[in-house]
Chain A
């Protein structure tokens, strides 16, 4: 049992441990007293639990707080009071009533949807769908229906209805832009019917047999191909009972013939089916499978493509009725066109912008048809194609290349600005060197384009041009760039500062000479990058900041301290972010610690490590570097960003030092 003096001393030490003024020597003394007296030990344990519980307290500094709005509120209050308008007590900062606002928006949206889409559907049904529903789209559920739908004047005896084909033979039909010979038509129609061949057996439907016979006779008057024979054989063996497959034959047959006739109702049917997503009311009944629905749509499409004009196809692609699933067929269509027809196709396709053109389909068409790329570039430059719609076409390499090449000679004025904006919308990395030059030349929109493109190279270019920009552009640019970059990218930029920055070869590759760039100004770039990362105020920048600190630890202590300080602050404010998400690994901290020749830098590195990997890892880290860490104990810990962090840091540092001293 210790004496009264020990307890008295222990009490004094406990109070100092509580308020954070106890140094490591004091801790050692307190530990020794606690080891001798169980009551002191218990008191120490309780106090440590209490101090550790401070970690669980909220950190108001870390909560979202709109300082700008707050400032506006204060200034407004001051203005009001200056004007003598308000002697009221403190006005609460405006807090938007979120729930009522949300409900109001939802109600308005629902009303809008009801009025616009609800009435729109009704109107379209009234306008065109009644006859189609009875005659074609839904179709009859038997052979009579086939006759009624496909050939209203035909006999009802199952024999082929031939009036349509006889009135206008397929090879006599006038095609708007692309006359086909009979052989080509037969081949296309045969391909069209492959969808039927691929369909499952129809379970012996007699209707199937009759429907297919009529389809063959209507669709391929030149003679049955092997595909058709296969269909016939399967159809002959069928029995009644499968309306879905009959519908398939009906749709295919009607399409093949009536499109040739430019039958308005059939064209509506085509539009309707192409616009469908395969799950809607397509007349196949509830029992039809998705595969069958897709087969019906494909049959309609192929039948229609066999006779469609370039304008028709372009309009369908422009409106989104032809999409990625139709890519192969539309490509085949375009390939079969002459150069003049392709140009016409491109003009029509771009006539009202690219908003609804399927990006995959358009990319495939651009690969096949350079005229289409040129037409698009021209349309963009002239403002006929909106830039906003290009964002969906980032994967269209042919288009991206075309616009990037066009940027080389981008004219001053609105046309050039549109090309710049288009490259930004497409995220053209290859355009970055040229955009950097345009930035330096003060061309409008160039800086915004670099920011919009972003990525690692975007950041590298931004470093090169940032000094040319206004403060507002610089600040917003850095914030946007960092927010849109990954932590890995940012770290790679920091790590690559000494490698020459923006790659000069890419300038040459894009047709530029790279003049005006500063490949050796690594220190200047480091300063600019640090500025930007601090301005961005984003946790994604932590790894890059640490990389900068490592780079500068032994050559620019002030810059390294600024980088580490910013990293610590960001880490303290984002306690839930995992090291992996921030691209942090312990080896990076090892490199940083090795590079630190200054105790203050090492302390910051230690805080950053602790915030990243937690107390256990930090303790181990300290133990491995005890000789480096030990001098820290001679000083007050200082004030990192949060009370909880400070408490944790103090506890583990003291523990590490104590354990090491004992050892």
Chain B
């Protein structure tokens, strides 16, 4: 048992409260939410948990088959903030992320018969979203996180330490934004959103082992790109002649 799994979002906890599950629709949503983010024990999204039959992914499959627009609308309302958030992290632009999120739900509805009920609805939606983001990035030049950059510019002069931190954050955002999409996706989903590797794998359409490797590579690229901002004490001391980090060695460089 994962004793801290309850931290997994107050919204889930709130919906789990009996008084909040007043309708079958809400129970469906509850199951949709609980179907994601399983612990790190190899269970995939939406699996390994006994569920109310009315709200299981299989039930969602039935709902989709029935063309239940009302249930879908509620699903959009509940899950759109999360889908949008992931897309913001993947494409950098809020506007583009919202467009992509809309496209994600439209595609989901059009292809609802493809939902096989074996994973959570959220995982399925994120898979569509990630594919959409991938296409979008392929078609479009990748922007920086424009709102973040704007915020940095607007924040004015600051003491040294604060300025350094700000510079680090800016460089971090820039570095994330230039990560190749195949590295960025697992990095965002695993490191920033802390989804399980199984979920990440299912969403990105790779194996869990591949997702781990991609996160490792993303880490290496970030550490490398941000070396000036993270403080390179070894080099400053001049005691490292080969000029490689411990991690570089590990990754065979």
State whether the Cβ of A39 lies closer than 8 Å to any Cβ in chain B: yes
Across the interface, name the chain A residue whose C-beta is closest to B16: A562
Bound-state Cα–Cα, A54 to B191, Å: 9
Stretch of B49-57, B58-66, B81-89, B116-124 contacting A (4+ beta carbons < 8 Å) = B81-89
Contacting A at CB under 8 A, from B63-105, are 69, 73, 76-78, 80-82, 84-85, 88-89, 94-95, 97-103, 105
Q: How large is the interface on B (under 10, 10 to 19, 20 to 34, 35 or more residues)?
A: 35 or more
A50 CB contacts on chain B under 8 angstroms: 172, 222-223, 226, 230
Stretch of A362-370, A397-405, A418-426, A638-646 contacting B (4+ beta carbons < 8 Å) = A638-646
- Shortest distance in angstroms between B9's beta carbon and chain A's nearest beta carbon? 6
State whether the Cβ of B134 lies closer than 8 Å to any Cβ in chain A: no
Taking a contact as CB atoms under 8 Å apart, the answer to whether A15 and B14 are in contact is no
Contacting B at CB under 8 A, from A530-569, are 530-531, 534-535, 558-559, 561-562, 564-569
A97 CB contacts on chain B under 8 angstroms: none
Taking a contact as CB atoms under 8 Å apart, the answer to whether B17 and A78 are in contact is no
Kindly supply a per-residue 1/0 record for chain B positions 215-243, scoring 1 wherever the CB is within 8 Å of any chain A CB and 0 otherwise. Answer: 11001001100110011111000011000
Kindly supply a per-residue 1/0 record for chain B positions 6-26, scoring 1 wherever the CB is within 8 Å of any chain A CB and 0 otherwise. Answer: 111111111011111010000
Q: Given A90-B100, A471-B22, A569-B10, do A11 and B40 touch, yes or no (CB 8 Å)?
A: no
Of B5, B17, B165, B192, which is within 8 A of A530 by CB?
B17
B173 CB contacts on chain A under 8 angstroms: 57
Q: Given A20-B190, A67-B81, A531-B19, do A15 and B223 touch, yes or no (CB 8 Å)?
A: no
Across the interface, name the chain A residue whose C-beta is closest to B200: A19
Interface residues of B, dominant DSSP: helix
A20 CB contacts on chain B under 8 angstroms: 190-191, 194
Across the interface, name the chain B residue whose C-beta is closest to A49: B230
- Shortest distance in angstroms between A93's beta carbon and chain B's nearest beta carbon? 6
Across the interface, name the chain A residue whose C-beta is closest to B95: A92
Taking a contact as CB atoms under 8 Å apart, the answer to whether A639 and B216 are in contact is no
B89 CB contacts on chain A under 8 angstroms: 60
Count residues of chain A with CB under 8 A from any CB of chain B.
82
Taking a contact as CB atoms under 8 Å apart, the answer to whether B14 and A565 are in contact is yes
A-B contact count (CB 8 A): 253
Taking a contact as CB atoms under 8 Å apart, the answer to whether B14 and A569 are in contact is yes
Taking a contact as CB atoms under 8 Å apart, the answer to whether A565 and B250 are in contact is no
State whether the Cβ of A14 lies closer than 8 Å to any Cβ in chain B: yes
Interface residues of A, dominant DSSP: helix
Q: Given A11-B247, A54-B191, do A636 and B233 touch, yes or no (CB 8 Å)?
A: no
A638 CB contacts on chain B under 8 angstroms: 2, 4-8
State whether the Cβ of B179 lies closer than 8 Å to any Cβ in chain A: no
Bound-state Cα–Cα, A637 to B5, Å: 7
Bound-state Cα–Cα, A18 to B11, Å: 27
Bound-state Cα–Cα, A153 to B2, Å: 102
Q: Given A90-B106, A600-B3, do A561 and B234 touch, yes or no (CB 8 Å)?
A: no
- Shortest distance in angstroms between A376's beta carbon and chain B's nearest beta carbon? 42
- Shortest distance in angstroms between A195's beta carbon and chain B's nearest beta carbon? 55
Taking a contact as CB atoms under 8 Å apart, the answer to whether A568 and B10 are in contact is yes
Across the interface, name the chain B residue whose C-beta is closest to A93: B98
Across the interface, name the chain A residue whose C-beta is closest to B233: A42
Taking a contact as CB atoms under 8 Å apart, the answer to whether A12 and B250 are in contact is yes
> Which among B4, B106, B173, B232 has the highest number of chain A CB atoms within 10 Å?
B4
Taking a contact as CB atoms under 8 Å apart, the answer to whether B109 and A569 are in contact is no
State whether the Cβ of B35 lies closer than 8 Å to any Cβ in chain A: no
Q: B residues within 8 Å of A by Cβ?
A: 1-14, 16-20, 22, 37, 39-40, 69, 73, 76-78, 80-82, 84-85, 88-89, 94-95, 97-103, 105-106, 109-110, 145, 147-148, 165-166, 168-169, 172-173, 176, 190-195, 212, 215-216, 219, 222-223, 226-227, 230-234, 239-240, 245-247, 249-251
7 contacts between A and B (CB under 8 A): A49-B230, A67-B80, A70-B80, A90-B106, A565-B16, A600-B3, A641-B9
**Extra pairs beyond A78-B109, A646-B194 (16, CB < 8 Å):** A20-B194, A39-B245, A39-B246, A45-B231, A53-B165, A57-B169, A59-B85, A90-B103, A558-B16, A561-B16, A562-B14, A566-B13, A569-B14, A635-B2, A635-B4, A637-B4
